[in-house]
A and B are shown apart, each in its own frame.
Chain A
């Protein structure tokens, strides 16, 4: 049943419009567009809503016990400590995970150490420190920071700001024998990389 030459395929058949048909066709077109759009856009909208979930999630920065105060002698030298906290990733909860690292530095005579997160403010690599060195160094794009966290080369450094200091508190804990022992706690805030200002990610 092939098409005979004198019978054009259906798509090419032209139906001449009539008066009432033009009026009717306006409604038809509007209705078709509206109905069709709803049919197509609904699944897209629902999908997008799910896809955008991360924008609506807020996470809290954990308060983390980092070390005993005794572990940070007041010699002005940075000491590296992993940050261990519970971490949630979508459906998984990881108890006591290393979520990052901090450097604690206590200057002579100071009671409270300063805490720097090891995350590079440039693009988030881990800033390294070789014991005894005078600077911190980021391995990724070779940013260097002084021991007070400032950038060695100032604005000529690829990192847009100095190392991020974190709020530190000293808490007293009870030992088994009834004495107290000083602990260093840090609020482990995650900052956005690449900006001049410290903007928390969460």
Chain B
């Protein structure tokens, strides 16, 4: 058996000369023996190999187009076996690579390892660094989520400011004048083909030259030389393992790389920031207003790069070498300071209290606080959106062929609050009155409402509120500013029912009756969140209906029941008060918002509420049908629920 291997090896060696090759690559003498300080280059190679391997596996699952990029990354992250781990390693190893690069670079300069004859290899190293940064930049966009999309678009917009060729370069990178399919295909080709290919080519040269010149031993001390194999390889491997451990730790700690909501070209992401290692550039740019930006974005960074490239020649003399080191410290210190400043500005609102800022009465501080607040809000909002989209994508409905973004646009829970804020919140509130507003992150508060609070419309509790003398007169119902209804017939009817001259026994009876009516009204709304119908409840609803259509009049002093003013199914007439048939059902609410002054609703009594969709031609309406539907569905709590278990009937 050994003989067979032996002769196979011989055959192979004869034709390919592998033994010599292996020998050469493993038995590199290391002056002064193996040392820990030599591991950085090897860890970088290992990091790159990790990226190659994880990248190829990610490639097998990734699909670059605007309807599939986010979707395929979602699939990797949430559905594939260990997909989150794969993506997490790729994500964090990329960051580790940037850190390792910085260390490697620093060490080379510090040790003066760029001096003749190693200048060329130093330059190769710088080129490799640029390629790695290019990989980081292109990779950030590929998930096509809000974060990557907006951060990268700010970046490519900057690129378009490069003198002369800028706009064309941008067009070529983006594949048109706007971001789209072609942006993804191009970035992906760069990220997975062109740049790794170039990196490999330059890496081979880099290592070949490194071998040619041998290791740059700093102080060849009097320890014995040793060989690369196995002494240094052992140290390198341990270091590689350590790097991987850190990366795995980060991946597990952050539960993989973040995936924010799908990119939405129409919805800016206020917290768009580049990756942390580019933050200093981002901050640096703020110093260059207007046309000066070219300086911040191109000329100064270009000059700095140029200086880096000539470092080996500056460093020929001892002073030159010290200048190089000083320069590098300055650059790194500056970058660190800028990064810290960027973070400080973004999190300013989280680290300072609003009162203190207001007390300081300094417009600069106030503006900074506001900007930071916007950043933080955008972050939480994006987080919430992402959670919801992922929840929908994981639900049995899955993602439609038009992509996750269209799914987002069709979701009342996501769109409702936005549309409400834009179209309704200048008059209406949306706050749970039973809790303080501060405890409700999703409340939409209008401090001076000029219309009722719409939280929980159609529910039993909401209907009970109208039938409660204190509540109906409060700002949540008809007690808002300038309301014509606060002294109207409805409010008077309710107040009188519980008036001072009414006996307690009578009040209790009325209360009992109103409770049944509230249940009957909720049955009209048929909210998806409504309680389950059982025999007992059905009976109460039937009683409530009977009370509304005449029962009340026999019971109350006023001698009136609902249908004396309202229409309710076959009883009563339209014209004096809103129709209670199907009250707050989807159809009822839609028709109401379209035209509240219609005969079926408030008619001439309508208070200031605009008609949002009175025309048959949707082009003429203030709100299109889809938006109307989304608002109404959201108000009624009618959206796909995944996290709450659906109760079996």
Contacts and interface: CB of A to CB of B under 8 A. Distances in A.
Given A55-B168, A139-B378, A181-B620, A157 B290 contact: yes
B347 to A, nearest CB: 15
Contacts, number: 134
Interface string A88-132: 011110000111110000000000000000000011111010010
B266 A98 contact: yes
Nearest to B161: A194
Contact of B182 (A54, A157, A175, A193): A54
A160 B180 contact: no
Nearest to A143: B289
A126 B269 CA distance: 8
Given A55-B171, A92-B66, A181-B620, A142 B367 contact: yes
A100 B264 CA distance: 10
Nearest to B67: A92
Interface size grouping (class) on chain A: 35 or more
B172 A140 contact: no
B289 A126 contact: no
B581 interface: no
B172 A155 contact: no
B150 interface: yes
B374 A128 contact: yes
B154 A68 contact: no
Contacts of A14: none
Contacts of B367: 142
A59 B615 CA distance: 33
Chief secondary structure at chain A's binding surface:
loop
B157 interface: yes
Given A57-B176, A126-B268, A90 B181 contact: yes
A134 interface: no
B275 interface: no
A156 B154 contact: no
Contact of A141 (B178, B180, B286, B291): B286
Nearest to A161: B290
Contacts of A192: 160, 167
Contact of B622 (A68, A126, A155, A159): A68
Contacts of B28: none
Interface string B613-635: 00111011010000000000000
B618 to A, nearest CB: 10
Interface in B593-623: 615-617, 619-620, 622
B620 A173 contact: yes
B17 to A, nearest CB: 10
Given A54-B182, A89-B181, A123-B154, A139 B172 contact: no
Interface string B193-232: 0000000000000000000000000000000000000000
Given A92-B67, A176-B615, A158 B172 contact: no
A202 interface: yes
Nearest to A79: B422
Given A125-B150, A125-B268, A193-B160, A176 B172 contact: no
21 contacts: A1-B14, A52-B172, A55-B171, A68-B622, A71-B622, A89-B178, A91-B181, A97-B266, A101-B266, A124-B153, A126-B268, A137-B370, A137-B374, A140-B272, A155-B289, A160-B291, A161-B290, A175-B615, A193-B160, A194-B157, A194-B293
Given A1-B14, A80-B422, A176-B620, 14 more contacts: A54-B175, A54-B176, A125-B154, A137-B370, A139-B268, A140-B272, A153-B289, A155-B290, A158-B285, A160-B291, A161-B290, A181-B620, A192-B160, A194-B161
